[in-house]
A = this chain, B = another copy of it.
Amino acid sequence: MTDKQLAAVLHADWKARPDYQPTQLEIATRRATYASRVWHNPRVIVEEIPIPEIGPKDVLVKLKACGICGSDMHLYESDKDGYILYPGLVKTPVVLGHELSGQVERVGSDVSGLKPGDMVACEEMWWCGECDPCRTGYLNQCINLMEMGFTDNGGCEQYMSIHHKFCWKINDFKKIFKTEDGIYEAGSLVEPACVAYNAMFVRAEGFKPGSSVVVWGAGPIGLGAIALAKAAGAGKIIAFEPRKKRAELAKAVGADDVFDQYELVKPGPQPWRRF
Cβ of A70 < 8 Å from any Cβ of B?
no
Q: Which residues of chain B come closer than 8 Å to A131, judged between CB atoms? A: 113
Q: Which residues of chain B come closer than 8 Å to A134, judged between CB atoms? A: 129
A20 to chain B: closest CB distance in Å? 6
Out of B87, B135, B228, name the residue touching A165 (CB < 8 Å): B135
CB-CB contacts below 8 Å: A196-244 with B = 197, 201-202, 205-206, 208-209, 228, 231-233
Complex contact B130–A164 (CB within 8 A)? yes
Cβ of A64 < 8 Å from any Cβ of B?
no
Decide yes or no: A129 and B34 within 8 Å by CB, A206-B206, A209-B201, A232-B233 being known contacts.
Answer: no
Decide yes or no: A165 and B34 within 8 Å by CB, A206-B208, A209-B201, A274-B87 being known contacts.
Answer: no
Cβ of A37 < 8 Å from any Cβ of B?
yes
- The chain B residue sitting closest to A36, CB to CB, is B274
> What 0/1 readout, one digit per residue, does chain A (125-160) give for beta carbons within 8 Å of chain B?
000011110110100000000000000000000000
Cβ of A19 < 8 Å from any Cβ of B?
yes
Interface residues of A (CB under 8 A from B): 19-21, 34, 36-37, 57, 87, 113, 129-132, 134-135, 137, 164-165, 197, 201-202, 205-206, 208-209, 228, 231-233, 268-269, 271, 274-275
Additional A-B contact list (13), CB under 8 Å, known A37-B274, A209-B231? A19-B268, A20-B271, A129-B129, A129-B134, A129-B165, A130-B164, A130-B165, A197-B209, A206-B206, A206-B208, A209-B232, A232-B232, A232-B233
